Amino acid sequence: MAQLIVMPKLGLTMTEGRVCRWYKQPGESVQQGEPVVEVETEKITIDVEAPESGVLAEILAPEGATLPVAAPLAVVAAPGEVVDVTAFASSTYAQSSNAPQRDAESALAGAKRAADGFQSSQAETHSGTIVATPAARKLAREHGLDLSQIRGTGPGGRITAEDVERVIAARRTEPGAGEPVTVYSDGLRLSGELFWPQRPLAEPVPAVVLCTGIQGVKSLGMLLLGQALAEAGIAALAFDYRGFGASEGPRGWLDPHLQVRDIRAAVAWLAGDARVDSRWLGLVGMSFGGGHALVAAADDPLVRVVVALAPVTNGRRWLRSLRAEWEWQTLLQQIADDRQKRARGGDGEWVRLDALVPPDPESRLVLETISRQQPGLEVFPRVPLWAGEAIAAYRPEEAAGRLNGRPLLIVHGELDVLVPPEEGVAAAAQATEPKRLMLVPQMGHFTWLRPDHPVFQQVMTEVINWLRMGWNL
């Protein structure tokens, strides 16, 4: 039976994609799962696979065509199968996209017209028009960049999204370095940076510990937060967890409860600094560290106020949300087999972090871009497989109910697909008053973490005001 290949939707914000190249031509055989066409979204370039084995009956969208999500690209049919391509494609598109039949027919017609339009655009290119991908044009428009000043590295000199991102990164103001400090946790040296307010310190100041995410290093967003807090008159301590970054400890030892111990050691360190008013201590955590902030605060009376940004609050629910059912069952079996092997004296398995926590395409692109900008930074370090079991047993949402009147602010992006908003909602439901759940439109997981992003300014204003309220300042 004939199957339609359509423009895939790879994120909540994706509305269209561009056909880059076809690996197969009409009449050629294809195997189920075999790459058939390369498409480019706003963020990445991916291969779209054949939905079943057969022959490529007809290509509906030529190379270079930009089409909306779910628009028909091609038809795969059984050998010898006769297909009314127009009727089949338009009806299937209508069913898959919930579009009226007339809209489906319009989309199909648009795909067929794209060949002529693309040839026209190629002619314009030769007459001086700048050649750039849709993603590159969108990025340049958002950041006020002149594409004519950017050198393209794509085929034929085409400007890609990565070319624009490099220019953005080069002109972006990097977070200033804080004061290097060493915190000891269970005898291990933790590498930290302390950000101080720029104004003269006539009296002790409020301070927070910044709890980083699952990559375990302070350089992933924490330095930026520390600088913004210091500019608001709040000291901020960021550090690498044990076993990650420049801190001591077994490499990659991803144990959430040990990381909470590291956070409490950092709180104690701040409380012992004469420049800090120990009555005004708080925690600001992000992602996996957002969950840590809840647990550490529940057990540490020194913490007076808590902010959790896109927190992971139920490890099992979170890991399950990142994969299909068969992948989830496979992971559970791998963890069980590894536990049995270790129980009999064998060596446990080690995996890349993205095998346990597979990022969505947008988050992966952001992490890989940051990795290129910071040589030596491991965004996907190797961790023991048993870390998956430790994460699955982790329940920060339960700690939210033990804050005993200490103010809690939870901020979550409505477009976050790496840590879904349900994680923040669940914790807010169990938290004691005073509390606030802030769901932010147009906020993903990583993309807002830059000083020129409007969501960054919005979130930091709320965070600073909440901290001051919690300390009665």
Q: How far apart are CA 190 and CA 243, in angstroms?
A: 9
AA identity, residue 51 = P
* Res 120: pLDDT: 35
**Parallel, antiparallel, or unpaired: how do β-strands 382-384 and 305-309 relate?**
unpaired
More confident residue, 202 or 320: 320
What are the Cα distances from residue 202, in Å, to 94, 205, 277? 68, 9, 12
* Res 111: pLDDT: 47
* Res 69: pLDDT: 87
Query: Residue 402, by phi and psi: left (phi above 0), alpha (psi -120 to 50) or beta?
Result: alpha
Q: In the chain, what is the straight-line distance between the N-terminal and C-terminal CA atoms, in Å? A: 68
Q: Per-residue pLDDT averaged across 50-56, rounded?
A: 92
Alpha-helical segments (H) within 144-255 = 161-171, 222-231
* Res 47: pLDDT: 86
Average pLDDT of the chain to the nearest whole number = 86
Q: Per-residue pLDDT averaged across 157-182, rounded?
A: 70
Q: For the range 179-183, what are the long-range contacts, defined as Cβ-Cβ under 8 Å and sequence gap of 24 or more?
A: 181/237, 181/239, 181/269, 183/237, 183/239, 183/262, 183/265, 183/266, 183/269
Classify 122 as helix, strand or coil.
helix
Q: Per-residue pLDDT averaged across 158-187, rounded?
A: 74
* Res 202: pLDDT: 66
DSSP-derived letter for residue 5 is E
| Residue 50 φ/ψ, nearest 5 degrees | -70, 130
Q: How far apart are CA 221 and CA 155, in angstroms?
A: 33
Which residues are registered as beta bridge partners of 308? 285, 410
C-beta of residue 439 within 8 angstroms of C-beta of residue 420: no
Q: Which residue in 198, 143, 226, 152 sits closest to 464, CA to CA?
A: 226
pLDDT tier, 88 (very low <50, low <70, confident <90, very high otherwise): low
What are the Cα distances from residue 92, in Å, to 85, 95, 98? 10, 5, 10
More confident residue, 61 or 169: 61
Q: How far apart are CA 294 and CA 255, in angstroms?
A: 16
Q: How far apart are CA 459 and CA 448, in angstroms?
A: 9
Buried b (16+ CB within 10 A) or exposed e, 221-231: bbbbbbbbbbe
More confident residue, 124 or 157: 157
Classify 25 as helix, strand or coil.
coil
**Parallel, antiparallel, or unpaired: how do β-strands 179-185 and 435-440 relate?**
unpaired
The 10s digit of each residue's pLDDT in 334-362 is: 999 999 999 999 999 999 999 999 999 88
C-beta of residue 440 within 8 angstroms of C-beta of residue 462: no
| Residue 217 φ/ψ, nearest 5 degrees | -120, 145
pLDDT at 103 over 50: no
Neighbours of 22 (CB within 10 A): 18
What are the Cα distances from residue 433, in Å, to 98, 302, 406? 42, 18, 7
* Res 129: pLDDT: 56
The 10s digit of each residue's pLDDT in 110-153 is: 444 443 443 333 333 333 457 777 778 877 776 667 787 787 77
H or E element: which one contains 433?
A: none
* Res 154: pLDDT: 74
Handedness of CA 119, 124, 126, 132 (dihedral sign): negative
212 exposure class (CB count in 10 Å sphere: 0-12, 13-18, 19+): buried
